[in-house]
Amino acid sequence: MTDIIIIGAGIAGMTSAIYARRASKSVLVLEAKSYGGQIINTPDVENYPAAPHISGFDLATNVYGQAKALGAEFKFEKAVNIEDHGGYKTVATTKNSYDAKAVIIATGSENRKLGLENEDRLVGRGVSYCATCDGAFFRGKTVAVAGGGNTALEDALYLSDVAGKVYLIHRRDAFRGDDGTVERLKKKENVVFVLNSNVTKLIADKKLTSIEVTDKEGVVTPIEVDGLFVAVGRIPENQNFTSVIDLDAAGYALSGEDCRTRTKGVFVAGDTRQKDVRQLVTAASDGAVAATEAIKYINGLE
């Protein structure tokens, strides 16, 4: 019987592990892919306190090492179900099942797709969801970025130093992301803004050769590109756990600021829960709160 099982090894989940281990609780962290979550693909993090310039990979590795050094156990298995037995919970993975007194869900979210024909087929053949992962393959070439949030802006900025030309395509005339990044992009001579428009078609033979963009008036414009980087948001990975948590219309877990859910002993942290601000600092904050509340629950102090 483990004290706390944490599902997800992003910043929220690993922060929970640190706080739980410092309270001498046994911790098992289950992660479907690799530690770090989505921040691991960010080349330069500039808004994390006391670390004005650090790569997402280095930041995640530091937090992972800290949790490991404190004695947190990590297993790279995908959690697919949680059963509530009152005094304990059972978490099933694709390989095993584990029992714990409390569970913290910190699964984060996955890339939202455009939903276009051939999109899945063209992943790795011109379509990508990670500019820092795949940008080097398009050095000196023409690419497009679809999206209007911070991820899209950061992708476009990164690609502007790699690709020959970058089209930034957004369905509105204003961006949701940081104004400072927008201003930096406007100063880039190889960045072209395509606003009030959506990518509506992918054109390819064996790989992507061009896209079609449709503006709000219905005018369709073809654009020749070698690559398309999709950054139109993310989808929370909560559907496997609806037996113990409630979701909002967008699929995010409902909880208070105490990270508690409708099931006693089950908590949520980070991007997986309904909240207004999704940043590294708020993920770390959630991780600390969720672990603290889980510790109180186990100790009978709730």
Q: Kindly list the catalytic residues.
A: 130, 133-134
The count of other CB atoms within 10 Å of the CB of residue 261 is 21
Residue with tokens 């330069």: 44
Beta bridge partners of 203: 210
In whole angstroms, give the CA distance from residue 246 to residue 61.
Answer: 32
From residue 289, alpha-carbon distances to 12, 18, 35 in Å are 10, 12, 20
In whole angstroms, give the CA distance from residue 284 to residue 265.
Answer: 20
Residues 6+ apart with CB under 8 A from 197: 169, 170, 171, 213, 214, 215, 216, 221
In whole angstroms, give the CA distance from residue 247 to residue 245.
Answer: 7
Establish how many alpha carbons lie within 13 A of residue 164's alpha carbon, considering only the half-sphere containing its beta carbon.
8
Sheet holding 220-224, edge to edge: 197-204, 208-215, 220-224
